[in-house]
Amino acid sequence: MTISLDAPQAHVNEPPLSVMRQRSLFDSLSSRLLATCLLALALSLAVVLTGIEYVFAHYSAEVFASELIGEAAHRLAKSVQFDAQGRPVSVPISPKIEQFRAAFAEQTGYQVVDEFGDVALASMPMIVSVPHEGDWMTTQRSRFESAGKVFYVETVPIPGARRPYFLQVVTSEVFDTALIRLRLGTVPKVIGISFLVAALIFGVTMLVTLRRLVKPIREASQAAAGITPQNLTARLSLQSIPSEMRPLVDSFNDALGRLEEGYLAQQTFLAAAAHELQTPLTLIRGQIEMQPVSPDTHQILHDVDTMSRQVRQLLHLMEASVLQNYEFSQVDLEHVVCDVTSHLARSAAARGVTMETSLRAPGMQIRADEGGLFILLKNLLENALAFAPRGSTVVIMADTSSISVSDEGPGIDEAHLPFIFSRFWRSPNNKTEGSGLGLAICKEIVLAHGWKLAAERTQPGTLFTIHLLRS
């Protein structure tokens, strides 16, 4: 079993993938807004289509045909041609319109009449005789019946004639209904196609707009996710944030400020307490050494040294937890490894343990805080020396991508691997000295550097590997 510590740490108790997909589908503001707009378009289309069907059901075709036929009559009146004596001789009609009129020859026709109602020119054959009674010359549209059928006539004066002439377009009620159905019957289909095209264009445009709209929010969210106790000085930028979201970002930044103040106060208290404890412990040790030797002197000095070690580790933990305490630069890894092994050489000799180094990339430079790297390697080596049996070897290896420390001790119980980086945690069967802070300090240093620290039980012993992810 292998336990690893990544930077940044993964969230625990993450929801199942299916739940995450469901959330991304139903909790997305962009999806909601897009769905709402498309629904509004669909409802608008439904209202328009319903309105058209209602109009068709409750209003006669004559209401709509009047405007269409009236416009056609005015155009025909302007196109009437006269001979030298001023008599109408023809009404030019486009072949397409004439073909359409011929198809409905029994339902529509036109004629040119004078002020007495006498026909001067007519389409052949004329479908019905138009009555000219009353003020027919001033009535543009009139209705009459013939042979049990209903007809409508549009009467339009012909402009530019030497004497009064009128163009009359005659249509049957059946023709008017067919014309309106033909002209307006395709409206629902046109609206439907227009809706699909509009929905496609609108959807793409809305997606692009929403992506640009939520991009600053997404960037702010990513920045917020990267804020850890190691960099509480970071704040979310208000640049490009929509005005509606700025109060939320301001509130979050204010909360970060209060959190930073509380965290720094805690760290300051921890450092002050450690410093305040360090001096009395030093004085106590001096006083004990000056007293006559007694059977308890050795144990008392041992206890004082243990407390002093714990105080020093508390100071290191406090310093390692604040990112601003690190000064990153290019560090000679071989030089730091040599310093660490030299520092622990006497302790290793006292335990009868040999330390070996294997540097596969001599002269390798990595970006790190030299003091933090020294404490990291020292703690890992001290941990290995504490469990290494007499006569065994502790090996520190390094290459371009990792640094590892291995020992030949009994190894860490697999059930305990998930807890070894917790502060003040000690294995129930651990008989060695220590306060349970050494690996916790390693954890903080690794996170600050953006590396990955893995612990693995081997046969025999334990292997700790630092993966230099940003080297």
Q: Which of 295, 316, 337 is the last residue of a domain?
A: 316
360 pLDDT more than 70: yes
Among 272, 293, 316, the domain-final residue is 316
User: Which amino acid makes up residue 445?
Assistant: I
Is there a single domain that holds both residue 337 and residue 433?
yes
Kindly indicate the confidence band of residue 247, based on its pLDDT and cuts at 50, 70 and 90: confident
Does residue 297 share a domain with residue 333?
no
CATH number assigned to the domain comprising residue 126: 3.30.450.140
CA angle centred on 402, ends 430 and 359, rounded to 5°: 95
**Same domain assignment for residues 456 and 357:** yes
pLDDT of 13 reads 43
Tokens 């406090």 correspond to: 318
The answer to whether residue 241 is domain-embedded is no
| pLDDT of 465 above 60 | yes
Report yes or no: 252 and 237 within 8 Å, Cβ to Cβ: no
- Do residues 402 and 439 both lie within one domain? yes
Same domain, 160 and 194: no
Q: Are residues 413 and 363 in the same domain?
A: yes
Distances (CA, A) of 186 to 18, 173, 180, 198, 200: 45, 20, 10, 18, 21
Same domain, 461 and 330: yes
Higher pLDDT among residues 168 and 6, named by residue: 168
Asked if residue 66 belongs to a domain, the reply is no
Residue 471 is predicted with a pLDDT of 44
Among the candidates 268, 293, 316, a domain finishes at 316
Distance of alpha carbon 54 from alpha carbon 76, whole angstroms = 33
Can you tell me the mean pLDDT for 89-97?
83
- On whether both 287 and 312 belong to a single domain, the answer is yes
Question: In sequence order, what DSSP letters do the residues of 21-54 get, joined into one string?
Answer: HHHHHHS-HHHHHHHHHHHHHHHHHHHHHHHHHH
Q: Which domain holds residue 397?
A: 326-467
Q: pLDDT digit string (tens) for 281-308?
A: 777 777 777 778 777 787 777 677 667 7
Task: Indicate the pLDDT class of residue 12, thresholds 50, 70 and 90.
Answer: very low
Residue 65 lies in a domain: no
Q: Which token pair is 36?
A: 């709402």
The answer to whether residue 139 is domain-embedded is yes
- pLDDT above 80 (res 229): no
- Percent of the chain past pLDDT 70, that is, above it, reads 77
Same domain as 298, residue 191: no
Q: Tell me how far apart the alpha carbons of residues 442 and 32 are, in angstroms, rounded to a whole number.
A: 45
- Rounded to 10 deg, the angle between the 370-387 and 297-320 helix axes is 140
The DSSP annotation for 214-234 comes to HHHHHHHHHHHHT--GGGTT-
- Taking residues 380-385, report their average pLDDT: 90
Residues 6+ apart with CB under 8 A from 316: 375, 437, 441
Q: What domain count does the chain have?
A: 4
Whether 19 shows a pLDDT value over 60: the answer reads no
- Which pLDDT belongs to residue 18? 47
Mean pLDDT of 333-350: 92
Q: pLDDT by residue (tens digit) across 391-440?
A: 999 999 998 889 999 998 888 887 788 878 887 777 766 655 656 777 88
CATH number at residue 458: 3.30.565.10
| Residues 36, 92 share a domain | no
233 part of a folded domain:
no
Contacts of residue 210, defined as CB under 8 A and 6 or more positions apart, other chains included, come to 30, 33, 34
pLDDT of amino acid 311: 67
pLDDT at 105 (0 to 100): 75
Percent of the chain with pLDDT strictly greater than 90? 14
- Distance (Å) of CA 66 to CA 143, 159, 204: 11, 21, 42
Residue 71 is assigned to a structural domain of this protein: no
As a whole number of angstroms, the distance between CA 387 and CA 433 comes to 10
Do both 406 and 341 map to the same domain?
yes
Judge if 368 and 448 occupy the same domain.
yes
Q: Give the pLDDT score at 14.
A: 46
pLDDT at 188: 65
69 in any annotated domain:
no
In a domain, 240, yes or no: no
376, 396, 387: which is closest to 451 by C-alpha?
Answer: 376
Report the C-alpha gap between 389 and 115 in whole angstroms: 130
Average pLDDT estimate for 232-236 = 75
The stretch 228-244 carries a mean pLDDT of 73
